Amino acid sequence: MGTLVGPVLSAFTTSKDRPLFPSPTASLPSSKPHLTTSRKIHHHEINTSRFGNFLHLKPESKPGCLDSDLPWFNPSDRPCFDVIIIGTGPGGLQLAEQVSQYGIKVCCVDPSPLSFWPNNYGVWVDEFESLGLVECLDKIWPMTCVYIDDHKTKYLDRPYGRVSRKILKTKLLENCVSNSVKFHKAKVWQVKHEEFESTIQCDDGSELKASLIVDASGFNSSFVEYDKPRNYGYQIAHGILAEVDSHPFDLDKMVLMDWRDSHLGNEPYFRVNNSKLATFLYAMPFDSNLIFLEETSPVSRPVLSYSEIKRRMEARLRHLGIRVRRVIEDEKCLIPMGGPLPRIPQNVMAIGGISRVVHPSTGYMVAQTMALAPLVAEAIAECLGSTRMIRGKPLYHKVWNGLWPIERRLSREFCCFGMETLLKLDLVGTRNFFEAFFDLDPYYWHGFLSSRLSLHELASFSLSLFGHASNSSRLDIMSKCPVPLVRMLGNLALQVI
Ligand SMILES: Cc1cc2nc3c(=O)[nH]c(=O)nc-3n(C[C@H](O)[C@H](O)[C@H](O)COP(=O)(O)OP(=O)(O)OC[C@H]3O[C@@H](n4cnc5c(N)ncnc54)[C@H](O)[C@@H]3O)c2cc1C
């Protein structure tokens, strides 16, 4: 198996030879997305939306599979590996690629290892540049903007990119294949542990053994244990990649957040709710007729209802004069934010969503996981690499502390405080907060959003944010956040002990 390139690159098509993601996923950064399908769609055939109401439109594409082959685990082979990774999302595949570089025997288990990733991932371009992954972006916007309200807009000189799921997954799979990673198509039911070895039991009846099991099966996994109540906040969003008649956004600016609420002028019920628990629009304009739109609740506890998000989005699109002709893809986003880390250490290692690498204040995770996987791989290699054979408890201790060393745990505590603060703010408070946030020295706001600030820098960042905040914002933070502040200080103290 060395020739994965051709089959994989041509694989994002359905069995009917129709491009699965007919537009931007197929293009490189500079190329313009196109909406051609194998059959021309005549205007009278298009099931267009009533003005602004896109909710009755069915998404035309469902994530399909790569039409390719992988080096599969053969049941007649010895079912023993150094590392088994459960899940081939971005987290699992990146770790598989990194660990296998050390000559460590890896098997990835997933019910559908060749499936397309379903989510639409956005990242800051500098994050992917520093990872050497910029060619995995299929669209780059040179600037981003934040609509604070109807009168104030911030233009941010920080390019933003959309990840090509096809290119990134292809690249990771190719590297895994050339590093002799095996794949097994099954769902893992159970993990059992002995002193130096663990066994996974799969839904096809197979049992595979390894010195280390890594759970990369996403936020909902049950293989990783927690010893504290999981008091998550939730980011919830509804997104569509849509063909529209037109939209009002500049093509060279990605809309990071649109906090305007004038669309709710004739919707008193939603306006009141939105003023307490606000949602914003996140938009990636690809061309004048193609756009990704996502109405997003940044964080709520309990979670805001999904139907309310969709109704607010409907009102917003109507107000912006966006008539949706076709929904090409849709996504329901529900990301648990903040909350405790898993018990550290434990005999199942974790990466990706279940390892709580997700940024507690933003819900972003992809770039951070890509950056941390090499560190986890290095820790694994120090134990299971060619010269050493450290297994059992010392291995678990080493790898968990490779992912979550004390400094990173402390910084995360700080970002959890950021989430708790956001949870307390109403629309006015949220607008004031982001106005002050994006006024900061870019070193701080870039660093905060990309989890790059040390604990010391996070403290300076907070002071600077407080200094930039309006008086009402300062009052808001002081009156609404003493409990989260005390909790954060308590947690910081516990981590240090
Ligand atoms: C809709 C949405 C949009 C997001 N957008 C962004 C974004 O723009 N930027 C960003 O940085 N982050 C984003 N995130 C957050 C995060 O980056 C994603 O959730 C990311 O997909 C997590 O990657 P993962 O590898 O941990 O898990 P997943 O991508 O969820 O992959 C898990 C894999 O494990 C497999 N699996 C599950 N159970 C089992 C089992 N029992 N046995 C074997 N295999 C199993 C699944 O089939 C799947 O392939 C988004 C999240 C969502 C939900």
The answer to whether position 203 is within a domain reads yes
Q: Are residues 423 and 384 in the same domain?
A: no
| Domain-ending residue, one of 283, 313, 337 | 337
In a domain, 35, yes or no: no
Share of the chain above pLDDT 70, in %: 87
Judge if 241 and 273 occupy the same domain: yes
Q: Which residues span the domain enclosing 380? A: 80-111+186-225+346-404
What's the rounded mean pLDDT across residues 272-301? 97
Average predicted confidence (pLDDT) for the chain: 88
C-alpha to C-alpha distance for 174 and 68, rounded to whole angstroms: 11
Determine, yes or no, domain membership for 98.
yes
Report the C-alpha gap between 471 and 475 in whole angstroms. 6
| pTM of the model as a whole | 0.89
Confidence class of residue 266 from pLDDT cuts 50, 70 and 90?
confident
List, for residues 389-431, the tens digit of each pLDDT value.
899 999 999 999 999 999 999 999 989 988 988 999 999 999 9
What atom in ligand 1 is closest to the CA of residue 353? 26
Query: Residues with Cβ within 6 A of ligand 1?
Result: 86-92, 109-111, 117, 119, 121-123, 187-188, 216-218, 331, 333, 335, 352-353, 358, 363-367
Q: Indicate if 377 and 481 belong to the same structural domain.
A: no
Give pLDDT, residue 482: 67
Question: Any idea what the CATH number is for the domain that residue 105 is in?
Answer: 3.50.50.60
**Same domain for 355 and 210:** yes
308 lies in the same domain as 439: no
Pocket test of ligand 1: the residue of 93, 95, 110 to mutate, having most ligand atoms within 8 Å of its CB, is: 110
Cα–Cα dist 218/88, whole Å: 10
Dihedral class, residue 180 (left if φ above 0, else alpha if ψ from -120 to 50, else beta): left
Nearest CA to ligand 1 atom 1: 333
* Strand 80-86 versus strand 207-215 pairing type: parallel
Mean pLDDT lowest among 231-235, 247-251, 265-269, 370-374: 265-269
Q: What is the mean pLDDT of residues 110-115?
A: 97
pLDDT at 497: 63
Q: Which of 315, 337, 359 is the last residue of a domain?
A: 337
pLDDT surpasses 90 at 18: no
| Residues 413, 492 within the same domain | yes
CA of 92 from ligand 1 middle (Å) equals 9
Question: For the segment 143-176, what is each residue's pLDDT rounded down to a tens digit?
Answer: 999 999 999 999 999 999 999 999 999 999 999 9
Q: CA-to-CA distance for 138 and 169, rounded, in angstroms?
A: 13
Q: What is the pLDDT of residues 31-81, one digit of tens each?
A: 333 333 333 434 434 455 555 578 889 999 877 888 788 999 998 888 999
Take residue 273 and report the two structure tokens written for it.
């709710």
Residue 250 alpha carbon to ligand 1 centre in Å: 30
- Which of 52-56, 433-437, 454-458 is predicted with the least confidence, judged by mean pLDDT? 52-56
Nearest to 121 by CA among 336, 306, 287, 366: 366
d(CA 337, CA 328): 28
Mean pLDDT of 184-198: 97
Residue 451 lies in a domain: yes
The residue length of the chain stands at: 497
- Which of the 8 DSSP states describes residue 355? G
The amino acid at 58: K
State which ligand 1 atom lies nearest to the alpha carbon of 354: 26
Nearest CA to ligand 1 atom 16: 365
**Alpha-carbon gap, residue 94 to 168, rounded angstroms:** 10
**Exposure b/e, 226-245, CB count within 10 A at least 16 = b:** eeeeeebbbbbbbbbbbbbe
pLDDT of residue 48: 53
103 & 205 share domain: yes
Answer left, alpha or beta for residue 103, where phi above 0 means left and psi between -120 and 50 means alpha: left
Domain check: are 381 and 393 in the same one? yes
* CB-facing half-sphere around the CA of 214: CA atoms within 13 A: 33
Residue 288: give its domain's CATH number: 3.30.9
Nearest ligand 1 atom, CA 355: 26
What pLDDT does residue 408 have?
95
Q: Which atom of ligand 1 is nearest to the CA of 334?
A: 53
- 339 and 230 in contact (C-beta within 8 Å)? yes
User: Is pLDDT at 316 greater than 50 in this prediction?
Assistant: yes
> Does 194 reside within a domain?
yes
Same domain, 249 and 312: yes
| pLDDT confidence of residue 292 | 98
Centroid of ligand 1 to alpha carbon of 153 (angstroms) = 32
> Does 56 fall in a domain?
no
Residue nearest to atom 27 of ligand 1 (CA): 218
Least confident stretch, 21-25, 338-342, 362-366, 377-381: 21-25
Of 337, 356, 390, the residue at which a domain comes to its end is: 337
Q: What is the dihedral of CA 420, 426, 427, 431, to 10 degrees?
A: -50
The residue type of 355 is S
Residue with the bigger pLDDT between 39 and 102: it is: 102
Position 269 in a domain: yes
d(CA 456, ligand 1 centre) in Å: 31
Residues 98, 152: one domain? no
151's tokens: 């009168």
pLDDT of residue 75: 85
Whether 309 and 378 share a structural domain:
no
Could you tell me if 381 and 235 lie in one domain? no
Q: Is residue 274 part of a domain?
A: yes
Pinpoint the alpha helices (H) of 81-222: 90-100, 125-130, 165-178
Quote the pLDDT of residue 3.
Answer: 31
Ligand 1 centroid vs 89 CA: distance in angstroms?
Answer: 5
Q: Cα of 275 to ligand 1 centre, how many Å?
A: 31
Give the whole-number percent of the chain exceeding pLDDT 90. 74
* pLDDT tens digits for range 207-249: 999 999 999 999 999 999 999 998 899 999 999 999 999 999 9
Indicate the number of domains in the chain. Answer: 3
